[in-house]
Structure 1
Amino acid sequence: MEQVQDLNPKPLSVKEYLVVSSMLFGLFFGAGNLIFPIHLGQLAGAHWGLATVGFLVTAVVLPLLSVLAVAVTRSEGVYDIGKPLGPAFALAFMVLIHATIGPLFGTPRTATIPFSVGVQPLLPASWAHAGLLVFSLLFFGAAFLISFRESNVMSSVGKVLNPLFLLMLFAVFAMAFMAPMSHASNQSVTAAYQHASFFNGFLQGYNTMDALAGLAFGVTVVAAVRQLGKTTPKSNARVTAKAGVLATGMIGLIYVGLIWLGATTLGHFKVSADGGVAFNQLVTYYLGNIGHALLATLLTVTCLTTAVGLVAAFAQDFHKHFSRVSYQTWLGFMCVASFLTANFGLDTIIQWSTPMLMFLYPFAMVLILLSIFSPLFKRDPVVYAFVVVCTAVPALLDMVAAFPPVVSQSAFGKALGAFQQGVLPFASLGMDWVVPAVVGAVAGLAVHVLKPVLTGQPASASDR
């Protein structure tokens, strides 16, 4: 039964909204959110503006929609988002999302990025492996301790770590804006961004993993808002939505600044191999030797906020669905697994994460949009089924095409690639899932509308 009244019937204060928004900001914004926009700016050069618009769609608008999807459907986690397709699909989707943003790719990246970009340059080359081992051990030990009690997540992330990160980031921005390296509009543009800046920026937004994280963080956000006394689904959803708009709006402003900064670095540096190198060059240019120390601190703090959110969301969701294992045990498993994966190194993690992101993001996008608009068709499972089934084939083809050459350039990979490019519209832009998903939506809605005529029964499914 839904509670008639909140434990706290009074409207939240501005300060309380800021605390929830700050927590959301900290959960979303990790090291990848720093390095990928800067690298995008270098790749896009003078076309940085259009590339920024594409990047903001998948890196800001989509994560905001994922938070709103949780609010609209009154979900308490990623499992509930996939529930209209049945418990088996919902559980599989939850496991895949948490595995990707968790111990396989996302969470280990929160340790490897600050180490490789901020700490490793300060160490002798022979100490790199041992340094990563020690750093990742301390890093995930801290994440475990902060997340050990679920009630600590809001106070630790929203009130302490995130403001510290914002203060340090503002210092870097202030120096860069007062004395820019060059005019971004005058810089060279790489080949891929000559004619497809928007779509390449769109695909670069996948790397932040924030749309997937937004679905997984749902359980953490709902629990945090409940701590403020907003315990009924309706009021909890309203607070979550308002805080999400504020948090993602701030992230969007930072992205614009970072992409512009990346483009300005081309006045002094060549396009780097990744955004970590570019960010290192940026802070060193303005701060000299102390830039390394600031960078290491900045990246470690922002990554720790994201790691705390990821490990807590993983443990909360898995404890909810596999309750025989305690929250603290799942938390320990997540931290140990992430520590082990982190020691494969950043390059390996990024190389193998891209195929999974190309596979999961189309599913995440259609499920988020279906959840947002679900009141219009009463969350009918038929509509969900048509859209998801039609999205599956292009998502699988995108995954194969994104694998390292050992897979994508094999005879099997080339054959699938030729089929993909020859049959599916927009395949060359990485958007081949769009037309099938639209076709599935039209077919699903048609069946939903015609169901009463054909069966004499209501077309709607339960709203729950």
Structure 2
Amino acid sequence: MENVKDLNHKPLSVKQYAIVSSLLFGLFFGAGNLIFPVHLGQLSGAHWVVAMLGFLCTAVALPLLSVLAISVTRSKGVYDIGRPLGPAFALGFMILIHATIGPLFGTPRTATVSFTVGVQPLLPKNAVHLGLLVFSGLFFLAAFLCSYKQSNIMTSIGKLLNPLFLVLLFATFLLGFLSPMGHAASQTVTSAYVNGSFFNGFLQGYNTMDALSGLAFGVTVVTAVNEMGKTNPISNSKVTAKAGVFAVGTIGLIYVGLVWLGATSLGKFNVSPDGGVAFNQIMNYYLGGVGHAFLATLLTLACITTAIGLVGAFAQDFHKHFPKVSYKVWLGLMCLASFLTANFGLDQIIAWSTPMLMFLYPFAMVLILLSVTSPLFHRDPVVYAWTVVCTAVPAFLEMISSFPPVVSQSGFGKAVTTFQSNYLPFASAGMDWVVPALVGAILGVTFHLVLKAKRNGAVESEKED
């Protein structure tokens, strides 16, 4: 693959880099990226800066590392990231990632958030279920049509929707800065954020699902850069990395503004049940009745761009590994499944997505970090195996304790929680996988160095003979 030559030997222009960055921005930034930081600002109050720093670790730094992992390993998707552990693990990991950010949780959420926050307040209570059915149907029909031709993903996201979204978002920030609702540094801090602001912000970043999405979007980004003539893996990875730095940097600045906006809103409102309600209150405060229409437009634009990327990446990856089913059929199945899941409602989707995220994120984080640093140990499967095996047990236990009460409050669930708190460091912060993962990485690198020394010794012996 390294011998493949670029069809376009000229450096990409600033405009072309901007298009790729805009593509990445649109793929990453969905409705959850709007509502979760606003809610974080309300929960953390005066401690919003510390909570924001934790949030930026998992919602900005980690997605950037996922893009860099694709670049460093010259991968074309999430399957390649898990490939050092064998094809069975790679395929299973790919299916779990796509199921989580796809039809089970992530993609349906793009429709339910935009409906719940933007459209539902305008409907009578007896029309909500029908309204969600119609809205989600039209929403995923639009996502299907925009993704039907793979080349349209670049045009739909990078050139059209993102600029409009950014204009609307800038207008929102302008209103907040010109007439703040309160002073962020003097607002009340909820009990969980009095002493645990950083780690709670860190865990809130899981909800964006962007680190998982970054791995899955790799195939979409690589395809888009290929269309610009950068078909050599090395030059393709360089373009992806540079565009990724700019895209997630922009997202980070937006998060800072949203967390601050949420904290200032406590000057006029109590802590809301979720960020959607909080954002709706903010829009109503500044724009009155017009705020609903403004918010609905903003959220729908943010959601549709992410949905297009998710359904496209799902169909591309599954067609590649299960080629008997065409890209268009996989795309249709993804949109249909997401439509059906969306109609269970936002609360159910969020409640059941949390345990899966607590299970998958530790694996994603260690695989991303291993991929980025893989040139140091030549992507040795031994290092991967030790690290992932040591991560698996605490990740599984954290998933059990994060399930809704029907599971977490059962006898087994309580026993798991007790074991975590007694034997695993940082369990109270939801970070009990960190120490085992570090131990696994150290063991893996040690075995790698020992085996490397033995191989070098054997080679020297052969030369002497």
TM-score when normalising by structure 2: 0.98
CA drift of 1:196 comes to 1.0
Structure 1, residues 300-319: CA drift from partner, whole Å, max 9, x if none? 11100000000000000000
Give the match for residue 195 of structure 1.
195
Count of matched residue positions in the alignment of Structure 1 and Structure 2: 458
Give the match for residue 341 of structure 1.
341
Structure 1: stretches of 5+ with no match in the other structure = 459-464
Contact 2:2 2:234 in 1 (8 A): no
Q: Letter of the 1:391 partner, please give it.
A: T
Q: Which secondary structure state, in structure 2, belongs to the residue aligned with residue 181 of structure 1?
A: coil
Give the match for residue 181 of structure 2.
181
Say if 2:6 is the partner of 1:2. Answer: no
Give the match for residue 288 of structure 2.
288
Give the match for residue 312 of structure 1.
312
Give the match for residue 351 of structure 1.
351
Say if 2:271 is the partner of 1:271. Answer: yes
Q: Which secondary structure state, in structure 2, belongs to the residue aligned with residue 3 of structure 1?
A: coil
Say if 2:68 is the partner of 1:85. Answer: no
Contact 2:4 2:231 in 1 (8 A): no
The 2-side partners of 1:4 and 1:95 are apart by 29
The 2-side partners of 1:421 and 1:175 are apart by 45
Contact 1:451 1:457 in 2 (8 A): no
Q: Letter of the 2:420 partner, please give it.
A: Q
Contact 1:180 1:264 in 2 (8 A): yes
Structure 1, residues 47-93: CA drift from partner, whole Å, max 9, x if none? 00000000000000000000000000000000000000000000000
TM-score when normalising by structure 1: 0.98
Q: Which secondary structure state, in structure 1, belongs to the residue aligned with residue 8 of structure 2?
A: coil
CA drift of 1:293 comes to 0.5
CA gap 1:168/1:452 in 2 versus in 1, 3 angstroms:
closer
Contact 1:283 1:292 in 2 (8 A): yes
The 1-side partners of 2:216 and 2:309 are apart by 9
Say if 2:257 is the partner of 1:260. Answer: no
The 2-side partners of 1:335 and 1:344 are apart by 15
Q: Letter of the 2:388 partner, please give it.
A: V
CA gap 1:159/1:409 in 2 versus in 1, 3 angstroms:
same
CA drift of 1:4 comes to 4.9
Structure 1, residues 228-270: CA drift from partner, whole Å, max 9, x if none? 1100000000000000000000000000000000000101100
The 2-side partners of 1:28 and 1:252 are apart by 12
The 2-side partners of 1:457 and 1:399 are apart by 45
Structure 1, residues 140-190: CA drift from partner, whole Å, max 9, x if none? 000000000000000110000111111111111111110000000000001
Structure 2: stretches of 5+ with no match in the other structure = 460-465
Give the match for residue 438 of structure 1.
438
CA drift of 1:457 comes to 6.1
Give the match for residue 462 of structure 1.
none
Contact 1:44 1:51 in 2 (8 A): yes
Say if 2:326 is the partner of 1:322. Answer: no
Contact 1:46 1:185 in 2 (8 A): yes
The 2-side partners of 1:408 and 1:175 are apart by 42
> CA RMSD of the aligned region, Å?
0.9
The 2-side partners of 1:210 and 1:357 are apart by 11
- Matching of residues 133-212 of structure 1 within 5 Å: 133-212=133-212
Q: Which secondary structure state, in structure 2, belongs to the residue aligned with residue 92 of structure 1?
A: helix
The 1-side partners of 2:123 and 2:167 are apart by 26
Give the match for residue 224 of structure 2.
224
Give the match for residue 462 of structure 2.
none
Contact 1:3 1:231 in 2 (8 A): no
